[in-house]
Chains A and B, each alone.
Chain A
Amino acid sequence: MLQTASPNTDLAGREAEFDVELRKVFKVFNGETAVRGVEFNIRRGEFFSILGPSGCGKTTTLRLIGGFEMPSAGEVLIRGQSVNQVPAYRRPVNTVFQSYALFDHMNVRDNVGFGLRLKKMAKAEIQHSVDEVLELVKLESLATRFPKQLSGGQRQRVALARALVNRPAVLLLDEPLGALDLKLRKQMQYELTSLHQDLGMTFVMVTHDQEEALSLSDRIAVMNDGRIEQIGSPQEIYDAPKTPFIADFIGDTNLFEGHVEEADESSLLVRSQAGLDLAIERGESGADVADAPRLDRGSAVAVSIRPEKIDLHLYPPETSVNTFEGRLIQAMYLGTHVQFTVELSNGATLTVRQPGSGSERIALGTAVFVSWSPSSALALSR
């Protein structure tokens, strides 16, 4: 457990365990509800991501923590203290804005020192802190440049330094890497991780990039339509999505809509709308996670199978369970693997991903068989 130098205590005198708590928070803009009853607790020192498609309310949620929006209902707490009445300029959090929002009438040094100057810190001390943080983000040599003279990546670092220098309780990151090209983004992802490890600060990041969320976060909250659909570790989110939306949004998947035809202790049989019979093994992770509604005969479900869990055969495999015949209609070479699109005999298409060098080429139109293990499929209640 990470300890901070100045422990904050909540009303009961205990040290607050969470840096950020949202309790049934709603936000309504002109009759449009952007955030609907969002609840989560962010632990001290955690890298927490809010992930979702655009318009899902994730940025509004971050702005509620930053103090740029006030909740219409519910409560926001920072280090155990309610901040519902606290304006942004008195909150112990700092934000890295998506567009960086650098002050273009000040040079890098003055941008970074802005927060410290407002705290009326001694000049020498400001100078020292600014130098330190500029070294941390590797911008020592550009201290006297103006923002307009910097590249996108450099501006990103200035925005980061300007927030970090204030040693906030929580660092808020609004799509921090969204404007960078792929290579720079990978590099900054790495640097964000190491910064987080070195500083032990609580990071809250908003992103629509599932890969970024999966690779950086300790925990992820997936948002859709103003609500949180699931909170969990990247592995939980990927391997045991609780809703069809998450299964589809995080990574790629094949979804079959259908209903439960047979159900017993250890397995399910789902009949898809297209008439396919799909066998599913009930496991500890995957189908029927603890708080999901019970699946019984007749329950409407979506069955999710990840493309990499599907096997592709040229000849009928030994088992007939979850085995279907189809026709190869597309093959894409993606570097580390090959992605195939298979059209099943009933017209449905499946995405199959196999590691491969691309050497074993299968002609388009070839009849193929697809199969997967009942333990690889997930039944998600609709």
Chain B
Amino acid sequence: MAVSSPPPTSPSSSEPRPQARWLGPLALLAPSGLWLLLLLVLPTLVIFQLSLVPNIRPGDVVNPSGLDNYWLAFNSTNLTVIVRSLSLALGTTAVCLLLGFPVAYWIAILAPRSRRNLLLLGFILPLWTSSLLRTYAWITILRPTGVLNTFLGTFGLPPLELLNTSAAVTIGMSYSFLPYMVLILYSSLEKLDTQLLEASADLGAPPLQTFLKITVPQALPGIAAGSLLVFISSLGDFIDPELLGGASSMTAARLIYNQFLGQTQNWGFGSALSTILILAVSIAIALLLKYGDRDAYRS
């Protein structure tokens, strides 16, 4: 043959050895992985184990024996509490979205670029105060002889009985979580290519059509992420329902608190409720990841 054989090559000389390929990522993930394992995964497993023991109190021997605690969680009284928690969280999410979107839109698109950071800072400033303090402020505002009713009274309007209602809880939680919603929506709207809005107008869309057909779809990942964050935070919020809700608006988070630190002292039932909440939130996230992945077209 006229063609000389190719020089011998060593096939693996340029590639790292197999074990070296996963050593790097492992080293990077180890610290946070260990953290998560010790402080999230193990406690969750302990809670799951506790949830299988009926009527366990501090000091009792852990002896898993069945699903009784779960059946308890779904009796009519406790089911009402879970449904109330979910609807309060949904309501808070809706309020935050409706109030937060115009603000984020204004800061991200309409306000002068040089002022944006200042405006944003002004909006997240409340986050720097203690959440307990903010909730007490709402008590001062909402109580029967509070700021709101004094204000209404000066105009001859009848007083509103808001404190110790679900409305007060929704107001308090919306106030607490609105800045997070605004921040997430802002970062999403800030990336919006305003030339798309011009293109939409160019093709004959009046402002409202442009908003519905271009702005909202473009901001959808932000809307989903912000809503999820507010929903999860509201579902787990304890302070606002406890201080603003009164006896009438018992929520899952308060019920769990009572099982561990309140008078009831039933760790098994508290653990079962916790497991149910964790499952509910996980399912919500999973659904969002599966069906809400509007980023697919961006790849």
Contacts and interface: CB of A to CB of B under 8 A. Distances in A.
B199 A95 contact: yes
A361 interface: no
A87 B200 CA distance: 12
Nearest to A90: B204
B198 A148 contact: no
B195 A101 contact: yes
A99 interface: yes
A118 B205 CA distance: 6
A94 B201 CA distance: 10
A102 B214 CA distance: 11
A97 B198 contact: yes
B261 interface: no
B294 interface: yes
Given A101-B195, A146-B297, A148-B298, A94 B214 contact: no
B205 A89 contact: yes
Contacts of A166: 203-204
Contacts of B220: 105
Most buried by B among A88, A90, A94: A88
Contacts of A66: 202
Interface in B189-220: 193, 195-196, 198-207, 209, 213-214, 217-218, 220
- Chain B interface residue count: which class? 20 to 34
A103 B209 CA distance: 14
A101 B193 contact: yes
Interface string A4-40: 0000000000000000000000000000000000000
A99 B195 CA distance: 8
B299 interface: yes
A148 B299 CA distance: 7
A119 interface: yes
Nearest to A68: B198
Given A89-B204, A95-B202, A162-B203, A105 B209 contact: no
A115 B204 contact: yes
Contacts of A245: none
A114 B196 contact: no
The B interface, classified by DSSP as helix, strand, loop or mixed, is helix
A115 B218 CA distance: 18
Contact of A104 (B202, B203, B213, B297): B297
B202 A94 contact: yes
A333 B18 CA distance: 54
B298 to A, nearest CB: 6
A97 B200 contact: no
Interface string A161-174: 01100100000000
Nearest to A119: B204
Interface in A148-178: 148, 162-163, 166
B137 to A, nearest CB: 41
B196 A87 contact: no
Contact of A89 (B195, B206, B298): B206
Contacts of B201: 67-68, 87-89
B207 to A, nearest CB: 8
Interface in A330-371: none
A103 B297 contact: no
Contacts of A99: 193, 195
Contact of B204 (A68, A101, A102, A118): A118
Contacts of A93: 202
A114 B299 contact: no
Contacts of A101: 193, 195-196, 198-199
Interface string A110-132: 00001100110000000000000
A299 to B, nearest CB: 47
Interface string B168-201: 0000000000000000000000000101101111
Interface in A277-309: none
B3 to A, nearest CB: 36
A223 B214 CA distance: 34
A61 B205 CA distance: 22
Interface string A64-105: 001110000000000000000001111001110101011111
Contacts of B195: 97, 99, 101
Given A89-B202, A105-B220, 5 more contacts: A89-B201, A94-B202, A104-B297, A105-B217, A114-B205
30 contacts: A68-B201, A88-B198, A88-B202, A89-B202, A89-B203, A89-B205, A89-B206, A90-B204, A93-B202, A94-B202, A94-B203, A97-B198, A101-B196, A101-B198, A101-B199, A102-B199, A103-B199, A103-B200, A104-B297, A104-B298, A105-B218, A105-B294, A114-B205, A115-B204, A118-B204, A148-B299, A162-B203, A163-B202, A163-B203, A166-B203
Interface of A: 66-68, 87-90, 93-95, 97, 99, 101-105, 114-115, 118-119, 146, 148, 162-163, 166
Interface of B: 193, 195-196, 198-207, 209, 213-214, 217-218, 220, 294, 297-299
Closest 7 CB pairs of A and B: A115-B203, A101-B199, A88-B201, A101-B195, A89-B201, A105-B217, A146-B297
